[in-house]
Structure 1
Amino acid sequence: MTLHIETPLVESRPLSLAANRSVWIKLDALQPPGSFKIRGIGAACELHARRGKRRFLSSSGGNAGIAVAYAGRRLGIPVTVVVPQTTTERACQLIRQENAEVIVHGETWHEANQLAVSMLGEDDAFLHPFDDQLLWTGHASLIDEAARQGNKPDAVVLSVGGGGLLCGVIEGLRRNGWDDVPVIAVETEGADALARSLAQGSRIELARIESIATSLGARQVCQRAFELAQQHPVHSRVVSDREALAACERFLDDHRILVEPACGASLALPYFAADSLAGERVLVVVCGGVTATLDQQRLWRDALRA
């Protein structure tokens, strides 16, 4: 029994027509807490629970924090999530909905993270949003499922924030004998730490995040993601906020599933930039985003029009 569910892998006719190739979507937006994050975070929380940890601490105002809160409730272990001041009230509400404590601190995730780490006691476990081997191994289950559910893809498309999903997918590809399958790593302009790092040849840190895709808002990808992007065939792509949001809106029309712009970044390639794809059969990770609402989509759209 795991805290995540096996999600559908389906061929998307609308995306396939738009991209002029067979596009398959792994629907991790359907995970109980709303995103792929529960795969790795759930596995890590289960391990920490077996080791006798009595509280989970995390530092995320988005999908990771919600996943930790969900895991804690399911396992009967208290959770404290430190969020920055930029966190939406909806995200805080979703964390509290899982009976977790929310502490608002600092202007950025980095400041919230520093406080969370300083609070760590002997009986506590710290759940990092993306930089943890336990998370990567858990996220790799996404590819394990895809290998059971369908044929080998010619490429995997995914969104990159801190790089946790990238690390997990590459681990999954390797352990299923799909080492040669390239990964197309997508970011939005203004949250493109990986793309800039690869272009420069060293891991850079963005001065600030200038994108509405806040779930991609790590100013620096983790070291392991940067290393794997140079060892595995990884192709970096950057899309605009407008393209990411437009992809969310089209995906809602096509599949009745609402995702956030961080997820829309990946969907933007088959919708609007099919030339960036490789091969005849492409797997797109629909990573989710539970904080997205129709009202929030309208606010993002208005902000981009301004």
Structure 2
Amino acid sequence: MFKMDCHQPAGSFKIRGIGHVVAQHVAAGADHFICSSGGNAGLALAYCTAALKARATIFVPETTKPSVHQLLASYGATVHVAGKVWDEADKAARDHCAAEGAVYVSPFNDPVLWQGHSTLVDELAFQIERPDAVVLSVGGGGLLCGVLQGMHKHGWSDVPVIAAETKGAESFAAAVAAGRPVALGGITSKATSLGALKVSDEAFRWTTRHPIHSAVVTDQDAFTSCLTFANELRVLVEPACGAALAAVQHGNFPLDKCNNIVVIACGGNAVSAGALCEWATHHSA
């Protein structure tokens, strides 16, 4: 089954954790929030601050599409472009946050954020029987940490998780191979929403507490899986989400004995039907 967080307000699962963080700080009197984002975290923050009548400033890397800039602005957010990759945008966001006295909102590395993301599993536990496996995409590791927290809360501590990434953005796979979080030399994948050079420490620590299988797919497989998803379900998701879809379709781990698989369709905004067709055609050439 698919957990369709692509239908969340602002287009992705990110609103779960970021909404939880923002609501707590607004209740304490905060009115200005700053985050770094490849797009989806920023859109979640912009949506939440607009709803709660607060301000949002978003730092994005140069790879962020103009359509995402427009969406951020439509929610009233201030947008700054900083650096070639997310990590450089994040440094600029933190520096600006210190100067402004605003609240920094991490896109993936905050226990309060993980608590918000864990509500996804609260819903699953109500909706379905215990699954045989859970498949999700990994960027910095926020979704992974939240889902695992929720799984342990509901007694699913031995249900394997497939952590999917695209080649060229596989920071979790690199950490597993090295035995510790390590920084990639750069991001070469077109799934830029997965583009954290280094996975969070907490995401890696979960490998000692839970059965997690790393799956790295190609951009082409992610694009193709997004097209299949669009054709069969009439729903658009971006390549970052396509990594999880492709892990099921093209993965090299055994799922043949799994009858009840949950695939988290995490969403994404940097996508259109034309863009998906163009990506898939270009990479199949």
* TM-score normalised according to structure 1 size: 0.89
2:57 match: secondary structure: strand
Tell me the distance in 1 between the aligned counterparts of 2:19 and 2:246. Answer: 29
1:118 lines up with 2:79 in the alignment: no
1:87 lines up with 2:64 in the alignment: yes
Superposed CA offset, 1:155-183 (max 9, x none): 10000000000000000001111111111
| Off by >4 Å, runs of 4+ in structure 1 | none
- Deviation of the 1:144 alpha carbon: 0.3
Amino acid at match of 1:199: A
1:272 lines up with 2:250 in the alignment: yes
Which residue does the alignment assign to 1:281? 260
Kindly tell me the number of residue pairs found equivalent between the two proteins: 283
- Deviation of the 1:274 alpha carbon: 7.3
1:39 match: secondary structure: helix
Which residue does the alignment assign to 1:59? 36
- Deviation of the 1:123 alpha carbon: 5.0
Matches within 5 A, 1:187-202: 187-202=165-180
Residue ranges of structure 1 left out of the alignment (5+ in a row): 1-23
- Deviation of the 1:83 alpha carbon: 1.2
1:98 lines up with 2:79 in the alignment: no
1:234 lines up with 2:212 in the alignment: yes
Which residue does the alignment assign to 1:301? 280
- Deviation of the 1:230 alpha carbon: 2.4
Tell me the distance in 1 between the aligned counterparts of 2:232 and 2:253. Answer: 21
Which residue does the alignment assign to 2:189? 211
Give yes or no for contact 1:52–1:123 (8 Å, CA) kept in 2.
no
- Deviation of the 1:211 alpha carbon: 0.7
Superposed CA offset, 1:183-239 (max 9, x none): 111111111111121112121110011111111111110000010122211111111
Amino acid at match of 1:244: A
Give yes or no for contact 1:251–1:258 (8 Å, CA) kept in 2.
yes
- Deviation of the 1:287 alpha carbon: 0.3
Tell me the distance in 2 between the aligned counterparts of 1:238 and 1:67. Answer: 26
Q: Which of 148, 153, 157 is the equivalent residue of 2:131?
A: 153
Tell me the distance in 2 between the aligned counterparts of 1:211 and 1:147. Answer: 34
1:252 lines up with 2:218 in the alignment: no
Matches within 5 A, 1:68-79: 68-79=45-56
Superposed CA offset, 1:250-273 (max 9, x none): 000110100011111111133233
Tell me the distance in 2 between the aligned counterparts of 1:263 and 1:33. Answer: 15
Give yes or no for contact 1:83–1:104 (8 Å, CA) kept in 2.
yes
Give yes or no for contact 2:21–2:113 (8 Å, CA) kept in 1.
yes
Amino acid at match of 1:89: P
1:119 match: secondary structure: helix
Superposed CA offset, 1:126-180 (max 9, x none): 1111111111110000000000011010110000000000000000001111111
- Deviation of the 1:86 alpha carbon: 1.8
* TM-score normalised according to structure 2 size: 0.95
Tell me the distance in 1 between the aligned counterparts of 2:42 and 2:211. Answer: 31
Amino acid at match of 1:90: S
Tell me the distance in 2 between the aligned counterparts of 1:36 and 1:173. Answer: 16
Q: Which of 154, 157, 165 is the equivalent residue of 1:179?
A: 157
1:46 lines up with 2:23 in the alignment: yes
Amino acid at match of 1:133: P
Tell me the distance in 2 between the aligned counterparts of 1:275 and 1:161. Answer: 20
1:99 match: secondary structure: coil
- Deviation of the 1:294 alpha carbon: 1.5
Amino acid at match of 1:279: C
Residue ranges of structure 2 left out of the alignment (5+ in a row): none
2:10 match: secondary structure: coil
